[in-house]
Amino acid sequence: MLLRKLIFAINLVAGMSGLRLDRGRMLLAWIPVLGLIGWGAQLSRVHDFQWAWIVGSWIAYYGGNTLILGSGIRRWMISRFGRERAYSIYEMICGWLFFTIGTGFTVSSTMMVGGLPLERGVAWTLGIALLVFGFGIKVWATALTGLDTYYYRDLFLHEHHENWVARGPYRYLSSPMYGAGNMHGYSAALFVGSLPGLVFALCCHLGIYGFYFLVERPFVRRTYSGELTSGLV
């Protein structure tokens, strides 16, 4: 039982970071690209193009997901490859995008270190509080809904999934992963005193809400109208 819970936790956190360990042969293509992304992030620090990297990571994640899920690209992929194969391809792309935006947080937090006008003790206290609160909420919400929801399966396929959740953090928040769940994004910048890191975290917070209002919320209101009107959210 303990081993099963440990494996579940490892798969969950790895999936949230951009790598679904339960995807078998897909990992042969999935993992090398993650390695290239990490290498690119490191090169941005060595060759001083951090700003280009963090802006590119933001555009790639929010622009990429908005473009695929909010346009005809999603429908073309389904018609070209079939529903399940198309989603498998998108799922891998989404994992790459998750990892890419994660490198944006890392790279931005290495810039202008020590530039925040905050006492070290205050910054660390805030950082730890936001890390525990935000990451805890996101893990809790993802554990309840599953990684398929985290990787937008219902939104990509435009289908109603049976795992509608109205408990845990969803009892109080309609999108706990986006609001409270993204608070941990500020923690690294606070730990090292990086203003660019804080700005990037704020831009990511705004970006995910832009995606939510433009793409996800209209889909949820169309697809889950019954749950919404019955007060399950």
Above 50 in pLDDT, residue 233?
no
| pLDDT of 166 above 90 | no
Cβ neighbours of residue 28 closer than 8 Å, sequence gap 6 or more: none
> Residue 214 pLDDT more than 70?
yes
pLDDT band at 229 (very low <50, low <70, confident <90, very high): very low
**Overall average pLDDT of the 33-62 stretch:** 96
The pLDDT tens digits for 104-145 are 999 999 998 988 888 889 999 999 999 999 999 999 999 988
User: Which residues, 6 or more positions from 122, have their beta carbon under 8 angstroms from its beta carbon?
Assistant: none
Query: When comparing pLDDT for 93 and 158, which is higher?
Result: 93
What is the number of domains present in the chain? 1
Q: How many CB atoms are closer than 10 A to CB 198?
A: 19
Range of the domain at 49: 2-229
CB 103 within 8 A of CB 37: yes
At 208, give phi and psi (nearest 5°): -70, -30
pLDDT at 89: 96
CA distances in angstroms from 102 to 9, 41, 108, 201, 217, listed in the order given:
19, 10, 10, 10, 24
Amino acid at site 164? W
* pLDDT greater than 70 at residue 46: yes
> What pLDDT is attached to residue 226?
57
- Mean residue pLDDT of the chain comes to 90
Q: Which residues contact 192 (CB under 8 A, 6 or more apart)?
A: 109, 110, 113, 114
Q: What is the pLDDT of residue 163?
A: 66
User: What's the pLDDT score for residue 230?
Assistant: 40
> Structure pTM?
0.90
